[in-house]
Amino acid sequence: MSSQWMETVAEAQRRAQRRLPPSVYSALLAGNENGVSYRDNTDAFAELGLAPCVANLSSTRELSTTVMGQQISMPVMISPTGVQAVHPDGELAIGRAAAARGIAMGLSSFGSKPIEDVIETNPQLFFQLYWMDNRDGLEAILNRAKAAGAKGLIVTLDWSFSYGRDWGSPAIPERIDLKAMLQFAPEALRRPGWFYGFLKSGKIPDLKTPNITLPGEETPTFFGAYGRWMQTTPPTWADLAWLVEQWDGPVMLKGISRPDDARRAVDAGFHTISVSNHGGNNLDTTPAAIRWLPLVADAVSGQIEIVLDGGIRRGSDVIKSLALGARAVMIGRAYLWGLAANGQAGVENILDILRMGADSTLYGIGHSSVHDLSPADIIIPKDFSPSWNQ
């Protein structure tokens, strides 16, 4: 096996940390305040147990499923992530890797590559949007995504603009100008592989967001886009129902924790919900997404598709999520670490790790299809999910 092969997501993270400048790696790690939610997203999976079978096991396993009308080869999708300074090809490499492994991808409205270019690498693309600007501005962005051929829309709402990390936040410049290049040159030179990759491509991370450029306006920087988002009046449920109507196709609401919000999403006409706390980047001490999942699944009773986004690091995490009510999972940091470590091949490597782990877990617990999973397949400790009586 090639020396570039990574056998676990943890190894990809270690290699990413060695390759990326500290500020870039820290931005990927992120988290919020004390990092309680960030840690719980992964730690909670270890609390869920498995009971392996020893006989009558299936010689073949079915991992494929459908999400938002798209057939995918396994119940894993690429979660949208914002401006990247990880690899020169960014979302293009991610799109090619996802297509090569037969799965769909989400493209962030704060992404670094235009949707028209990314969708050429993977037609199974869902465009992600924040509620920002006004309805006219949102319609302009939606119409561009429709024209490009996006198969669905993801509306991200699990963000409260909280800030501050006990371990410190990375310094991120507003734009890459001479001053910024001088400031970050020592970091870049200490990571020659990362620096040479961008140098060889003839590109530098410009920290711009081409997918929310409005007609007649200059492409905003990440912080310019973030400022527009912060200054926008938050949506009501009526606003969200209006947005669903504008798309005329499957729409996912990303960021559900509370079961009552899940029921409201059903009423607003959403096709899919994502149980997520934004990778532990939203309100700290919010319980892990996997802890909320059984409550949310019970609340909606099959009326809406559910995906789980948060803390997926191995194939058994995928199977546990499906057993507790998800149709599929989304991954974020895991594929970014793979991208940092080895470009497109690194992302494919991560997807292969998850596929093999999901397959072996499904085999071990005695099932032939991901569609046969139920909570009875998982050992769930008492008080695993939050107490919720509303």
Which residues are marked as active site?
A: 278
CA–centroid distance for 385 within its chain: 22
- d(CA 339, CA 346) in angstroms, rounded, equals 5
Q: Which of these, 352, 335, 354, lies nearest to 105 by C-alpha position?
A: 335
- d(CA 194, CA 191) in angstroms, rounded, equals 6
